[in-house]
Amino acid sequence: MISSLSGSSRVFGIMGHPVRHSLSPAMQNAALQACGLDGVYVPFDVRPERLGEAVAGLRALGVGGVNVTIPHKTGIVQYLDELDESAEAAGAVNTVKNDNGRMVGYNTDGDGLLRSLAEDFAFSPKNSSVVIIGAGGAACGAIAALCRAGARRIEIVNRSVDKAASLAAAMEERYPGTVLAVTGFGTGLAPILQGAGLVVNTTSLGMKDETIAGLEPEALHHEAIIYDMVYAPPVTPLLLEAQRLGLRHANGLGMLAAQGELAFRIWTGMLPPRGLMGRVLAGISAQ
């Protein structure tokens, strides 16, 4: 790929701190190559206090676009010229496009989740009833995308109930077509789960073998889907439980690939070959 770079190569990248564990360079470079595009995608390790300079640098150097990851997803907003509805609703940016010097922020996490659910389960959010575990950045993106796609009801279950309540109120104001409700952790969740078609874990619980207090998937309908945004380890205790009960389930690798595909389309106008990014990620996570 490097040997094919030229004087007119476009540069893309990811800004985070730290960024060396990111899987995005592998999947984005594979996509550039597969689409025959003259470009390269590189990691940029940017300290929070230098974020403003970094964005000015992207503009000055004509970098085509970047992904944005922890800890910059909200901090970068103040340095951008415009926010797409996806980023404004989520209150966070994971993709920036340099549109002739105008830096535009997007959030492809939520639509990435929906794309993964559509591809893996043919799930349509229209009129659905969804339980979202968590009320952080990943939850905001997911809830906003579900509301835009016509979800009927979303129940947010979170440790900090106040935080979930503010999020629910903000989303209901923006998307009045969806009913939002809030429940705390630890209380019996069975009545909420009974009517749900989809449960999404947006917390980091499961990365270290933790279970989610009060979440008993036995209460779910047999056609319900359990989606865990965690992808390392590939099988969390929640997914193990879904497996045991014979429920449809997936980890967050599909979403990671899909948010990358949507970012790639924002920058290049093209989608990578179907399944390519997912195969790259699966190859890395199997190592």
For ligand NAP, the closer of residues 48 and 101 by Cβ is 48
* Binding of residue 59 to ligand NAP (CB under 6 A): no
- Considering only 68, 220, 250, 256, the residue that binds ligand NAP (CB under 6 A) is 256
Structure tokens at 2: 């490097």
Distance between first and last Cα of the chain: 22
Question: Given its phi and psi angles, is residue 214 left (phi above 0), alpha (psi -120 to 50 degrees) or beta?
Answer: left
Using CB under 6 A, which residues numbered 143 to 162 contact ligand NAP?
158-160
- Applying CB under 6 A, the span of 11-19, 75-83, 175-183, 255-263 interacting with ligand NAP comes to 255-263
Nearer to ligand NAP, 135 or 262 (CB): 135
Look up residue 41 and give its two tokens.
Answer: 């995608």
User: Residue 24 interacts with ligand NAP (CB under 6 A)?
Assistant: no
The token pair that represents 196 in the structure block: 């749900």
Smallest distance from ligand NAP to CB 254, Å: 8
Q: Which is nearer to ligand NAP, 13 or 254 (CB)?
A: 254
Please, which residue, 22 or 202, has the CB nearer to ligand NAP? 202
Distance CA 145, CA 272 (A): 22
Radius of gyration of the chain (CA): 19
Shorter beta-carbon distance to ligand NAP: residue 11 or 77: 77
Under the criterion CB under 6 A, does residue 204 sit at the interface with ligand NAP? yes
Give φ, ψ of 129 to 5 degrees: -115, 120
Would residue 126 show up in a list of annotated catalytic residues for this protein? Answer: no
Tokens of 181: 């409700």
Identity of residue 17: H
Residue 253 pairs in a beta bridge with: none
Report the C-alpha gap between 115 and 107 in whole angstroms. 13
- Kindly state the tokens that stand for 98: 């340099």
The residue annotated as part of the active site, out of 73, 97, 126, 163, is 73
| Contact call for residue 227 and ligand NAP (CB under 6 A) | no
Site for ligand NAP in 73-132 (CB under 6 A): 109
Give the residue carrying structure tokens 């009517």. Answer: 195
Residues noted as catalytic: 73
Site residues, ligand NAP (CB under 6 A) = 109, 134-139, 158-160, 163, 185, 202-205, 207, 229-231, 252, 255-256, 259
